């Protein structure tokens, strides 16, 4: 992807997620959190995540975040914060920054933080491909369902590696292709078409090779079409 194409796709991606953040945050959150029958139906139909696999998916996404984490944490992208913000209520001694390229999603996350009385979290709009932080700033970067959306995945990984301290952790989860034909079809015909996901997408096998270009001690798990990762700088 050349620079001009990357900029155009970033605007397309921003518009797509701004719409979700401003107008469709409730159904989006219902699906992500499996909080009602419609959300659970969507998880089962499109993502092939029935209740047992969804529970494993939730466990996988936070596997690299210690329950007693006390350092500096960057979450990118935060989205609406429906999954991560409730988790942060227990990280009383952590310094947490939540970043997103979409002002709509960031606004939804900020409102949720207010509802949860999370007053010490920093919310910042920014580009993962050009992070507004100094080198060696964070002890952990968390990315929940983010890598498959980033238009320039190489720039994103380079920047995440740059802002992590030596020995720090990059962890989270993402969509991987080749695990389920129904999910892959949904991603191609809806998620990519609507601008929510950006190809190319890794397979489970290629993800390890991809992450090992930037990180060491790469550990992977898999639940359906989602891979969890836990890497060290």
User: Pick from 35, 21, 184, 181: which is nearest to 105 by CA?
Assistant: 21
Q: What is the reported pLDDT for 30?
A: 83
Q: Does domain 3-232 have CATH number 3.40.50.2300?
A: no
pTM, entire model: 0.91
pLDDT of residue 210: 96
pLDDT for position 194: 84
pLDDT at position 142: 98
Per-residue pLDDT at 27: 74
- Domain locations along the chain: 3-232
Taking the chain (233 residues) in runs of 10, the rounded mean pLDDT of each run is 48 48 64 90 95 96 96 96 96 96 91 95 95 98 95 95 98 98 96 90 97 96 98 98
Q: How far is CA 212 from the centre of its chain?
A: 19
Tokens standing for 9? 């796709």
pLDDT at 105: 87
């Amino acid at each position: 992807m050349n620079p001009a194409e990357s900029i155009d796709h970033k605007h397309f991606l921003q518009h797509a997620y701004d719409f979700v953040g401003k107008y469709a945050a409730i159904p989006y959150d219902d699906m992500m959190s499996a909080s009602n029958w419609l959300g659970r139906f969507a998880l089962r139909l499109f993502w092939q995540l029935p209740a047992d696999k969804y529970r494993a998916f939730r466990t996988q996404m936070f596997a690299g975040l210690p329950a007693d984490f006390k350092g500096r944490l960057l979450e990118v992208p935060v989205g609406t914060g429906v999954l991560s913000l409730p988790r942060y209520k227990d990280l009383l001694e952590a310094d947490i920054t939540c970043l997103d390229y979409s002002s709509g999603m960031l606004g939804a996350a900020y409102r949720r933080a207010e509802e949860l009385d999370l007053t010490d979290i920093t919310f910042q709009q920014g580009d993962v491909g050009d992070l507004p932080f100094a080198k060696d700033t964070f002890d952990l970067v968390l990315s929940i369902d983010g890598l498959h959306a980033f238009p320039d995945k190489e720039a994103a990984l380079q920047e995440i590696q740059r802002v992590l301290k030596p020995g720090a952790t990059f962890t989270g989860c993402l969509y991987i292709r080749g695990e389920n034909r129904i999910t892959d079809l949904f991603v191609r015909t809806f998620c990519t078409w609507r601008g929510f996901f950006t190809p190319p997408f890794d397979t489970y096998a290629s993800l390890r090779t991809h992450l090992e270009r930037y990180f060491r001690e790469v550990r992977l798990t898999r639940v359906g079409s989602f891979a969890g990762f836990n890497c060290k700088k």
